Chains A and B, each alone.
Chain A
């Protein structure tokens, strides 16, 4: 346990950051048709969203089911600002993250001290309140039919309507987000956060303050969700509550946990997984929940600690076994001598 903790803290994860940046730059080159680019754009939005979720799920070690709601809040904040109040998109892109950060800090303050399963329920409740409000505040949000007429993103009169321009913009923000997350991760604060994810008693003993750290994780996750939401609103130019429902909250967590919560590589792999599911689901809409549920159940049964966690644990076991065998070997040699 202890050795796993120290290793997870000393891990710099630099190659994972480079791989994330590389994939964001190279993937669109594989297939750059207009349709493919809209899919890559969604993927890049998910990278931002999951990088945010990673601060809580990965590093602070708690499972938050509020991220879909925060994502929606960001989308609606930007969409409503642009449609109802004629706020320029650039400003809306600034407002949305601030609104979501404030909401996330509030939810964080309310739920932070709760034990794991209660924390899960509190974040799920918060996400669900937001989801319900998107559908019920009809004058503001357009209700279940969605918010229509969102303008494309534009700077100084130049509208981002070309698929390649849209992708470049979203990917740039995703890369900046990943670099910021990486820098935070290797900083003293980030190490303390990861120490929490790995072993809470150990982190406490080392004198890290849980309250401030978790609040920071929440604030960061909210900020990223706000950016992702605003980008989603300007990209799709139409948003409806069903995009941000319970299923989405679950999918985000599953994608991140399966692809490596707490690691820099997690968000990009999770985003690829989510986008793959979306493309696949378009053809099998009726069977999607059933198939997803079965895959999810099998995954949880096979890898209760997540795919990356499981692989790391196996490596750990192999290493420990090798160490034990080596020790036994020396012992035998000592006995023989």
Chain B
């Protein structure tokens, strides 16, 4: 029974942790391209999850199409985010962009509140409702899907950044965006791709999370911060680190709510965030940037 509980806790932690990992990847992509922290990342997760669940529950759209439409809508939102941030041509420093993303996050949240009328929605699992039994523990089939999804995303992103021309350009922007501009690649092009990719990642995370927990217009802030904690844990901008950080954070939360009290599970991410920023701000696996003055 004890091992059963442990495996149960582990699985539910991994299941949510896989989602945190995907959110963390989104933070990394934007950070690498612009040096800014994107506060809209959590809202992408909310928009992806909420719109898929709304389409499915309120408008009876088949689940598969609902998820595809949700990803398309969120990706468009990423495109619009970049336009809203950099389209006016005045914001270029990471600190100013970070502040402006807070404004956009507030706008997205406000719009979602009006559209969803503060209702909550949820999705069923793509793999059906039957529970999965492993070593005396039972878990949602979504767990398997999320884990596979997060690994696939990390592999796909790694291949994208290493093997494609666009990916290489984005990596170069992370290294030295000014030199890249002298090669004729505009800052806005790299930023636009980064936001589109990050938004798509957020939508995927939202679709993976909606079967595990209900989504509402105000889910985004907390999810974004947890994703950021996961990103910092693994080293901001490091894809493999993001995966490790997300899974670790998910399991840590599950351990607190499984063996302690679920009321304090949400606090775990922030304790982790503060601890990592205080003692090892480069994350467990390091990041190429200076984090201290």
Residues in chain A within 8 A of chain B (CB atoms): 63, 110-111, 113-118, 120-122, 124-126, 128-129, 132-133, 136, 138, 200, 210, 246-247, 250, 286-294, 296-297, 300-302, 304
Contacts and interface: CB of A to CB of B under 8 A. Distances in A.
A125 B114 contact: no
Interface string B244-285: 000000000000000000011011001101100110010000
Nearest to A303: B90
Interface string B1-39: 000000000000000000000000000000000011100
Contacts of B98: 117, 120
B229 A125 contact: yes
Contacts of A200: 293
A296 B266 contact: no
Contacts of A288: 110
A297 to B, nearest CB: 4
B135 interface: no
Given A114-B292, A115-B291, A297-B103, A125 B113 contact: no
A58 to B, nearest CB: 15
B270 A118 contact: no
B292 A121 contact: no
A267 B30 CA distance: 34
A74 to B, nearest CB: 20
B291 A286 contact: no
B111 interface: yes
Given A115-B291, A118-B281, A250 B228 contact: no
Given A117-B98, A125-B225, A250-B106, 8 more contacts: A111-B274, A118-B292, A128-B225, A250-B102, A289-B110, A290-B113, A300-B91, A304-B91
Contacts of A286: 113-114
Contacts, number: 121
For B98, B106, B290, B291, the residue with the greatest tally of chain A CB atoms inside 10 Å of its CB is: B106
Contacts of B271: 129
A132 B107 contact: no
Closest 5 pairs between A and B when the two form their complex, measured CB to CB? A289-B110, A290-B110, A293-B107, A293-B106, A297-B103
A210 B292 CA distance: 13
For B271, B273, B290, the residue with the greatest tally of chain A CB atoms inside 10 Å of its CB is: B273
Contacts of B94: 117
9 contacts: A111-B277, A113-B293, A115-B291, A120-B37, A125-B273, A136-B267, A289-B109, A289-B110, A293-B107
B62 interface: no
Contact of A132 (B96, B100, B270, B278): B270
B107 A297 contact: yes
A114 B293 contact: yes
A129 B274 contact: yes
Contacts of A292: 106, 110
A304 B92 CA distance: 10
A289 B113 contact: yes
A132 B227 CA distance: 17
B292 A300 contact: no
A12 to B, nearest CB: 29
For A110, A122, A286, A287, the residue with the greatest tally of chain B CB atoms inside 10 Å of its CB is: A122
B95 A117 contact: yes
Interface of B is mostly: helix
Contacts of B270: 125-126, 128-129, 132
A132 B113 CA distance: 21
A114 B277 contact: yes
B221 interface: yes
A266 B104 CA distance: 24
Contacts of A116: 95
Nearest to A294: B107
B222 to A, nearest CB: 8
A193 B110 CA distance: 37
Given A121-B228, A128-B225, A129-B271, A300 B96 contact: yes
A121 B104 contact: no
A126 B102 contact: no
B277 A293 contact: no
A298 to B, nearest CB: 8
B196 to A, nearest CB: 19
A111 B270 CA distance: 13
B292 A293 contact: no
A132 B267 contact: yes
Contact of A126 (B263, B274, B293): B274
Contacts of A296: 102-103, 106
Interface string B66-105: 0000000000000000001000101101111011101111
A108 to B, nearest CB: 11
Contacts of B111: 290
Interface in B178-227: 221, 225
Given A132-B266, A300-B103, A287 B90 contact: no
A200 B293 CA distance: 10
Contact of A136 (B35, B263, B277): B263
Nearest to B266: A132
A174 B16 CA distance: 46
Contacts of A133: 267
B81 to A, nearest CB: 11
A287 B110 contact: yes
